[in-house]
Structure 1
């Protein structure tokens, strides 16, 4: 349920003994997925191929998802200015492709990913300022990161896949009693958060609800006097039944376009 373009390409590889020319394959993919491939869409994919799809690294994640930099699982996320140009080009196709639900879903995802990268820059600056003892500057950067991530949460609230609500509801549906439902929910939430022991934060899900109610409060806790209570807070969050409070924008596609424009200077 992620990186559909990669899996479509892998599937096509199984039906040919020849190499695949991506310059000709990608426009066909876009036409099949969205119903069209305007020139801007083709250009957007050239930018994506040079940045986020230029190499595949294990553990793609943001620092705000691990609270502190993960020095064991090195991640590389190429979200340079070229990626921003790709996102802007992709979003510029809205007038001709907005009737495609798959285009809207992907536009929300790309915009959210870029905004999350901007939030990550702010969060990293907050960590740096905190390490230098610059408390005021650290909190300013933290607040800016949180502001952006709350917008990301609202964008993803309208995505059909990237929502904690779906994950929790499916887990609870397996239980026959309230006790079972609570246990299944706790297990499900543990899988996407602290599960893994040495591999804690292994899943690093990019989901609405999880950003608003888990990652953001955990970031704030780390910058508070209760930093030492982080593990206990995580365990309490896992065990307590969760209720969704995330809401989506009335027009998520147009909101995605406006938010990318607003935050691109971060």
Structure 2
């Protein structure tokens, strides 16, 4: 019998009680530290010579994707909030250690002008753009629909939806046949939690965005897909206003009995960006620990 990995015990199945004061969460405050594939991801040249831009690329899923893309041969630009500078610098160091160029772009994707500038800086620095990963996201726990302020609603919508439109529109003139756009949706798009109603709405909208844009850009040879993660251990989780007891059991309700790690998402993004997926567009790829969409 082959020596295989038991997916139930590959990573922690419970976490110490913890919280962070505000969004965005920071990696160094998490216990245990997330696994982004720093010690395990091995590239095989699937993205050799390509250029990628990842929003929310400093930590969590975005960092894991940045590491994998660099080790597959891509130059990587990451967008991050100014207060995430330490996480961004760590991610950039991992990109350069892989022998690729790194670009960190600090700003807020809720600003249309910043989104345009981020794309232009990427193209100017790298000489082009082949892969756009729309990953930046914001969520918070809601205590009933009446508790959602217009300010919070606006933050969720502008971070999770408006930024996608602005980044994609700015990137489109630079994309070409063989380019790839990948959105980070969520299992929340299909199985929404009441406390994440506004976040879940944006994730469902991202599914529609992905499917419609795939039809629009298919004739140009540009593929558009989404990854739908389940519960993944990222800074977003302890920074969400949940009771510490809920954090401790995060992901325990999946069939595999645990939360996923960012490193377990990265191969899905590599696949969708690579020539292994030349006939895949408009797809929603679940990485959910067995939870059905």
| TM-score, length-scaled by structure 1 | 0.27
Higher normalized contact order (CA 8 Å, seq sep 6+, divided by chain length): 2
User: Larger Cα Rg: Structure 1 or Structure 2?
Assistant: 1
Larger helix share, 1 or 2: 1
Larger strand share, 1 or 2: 2
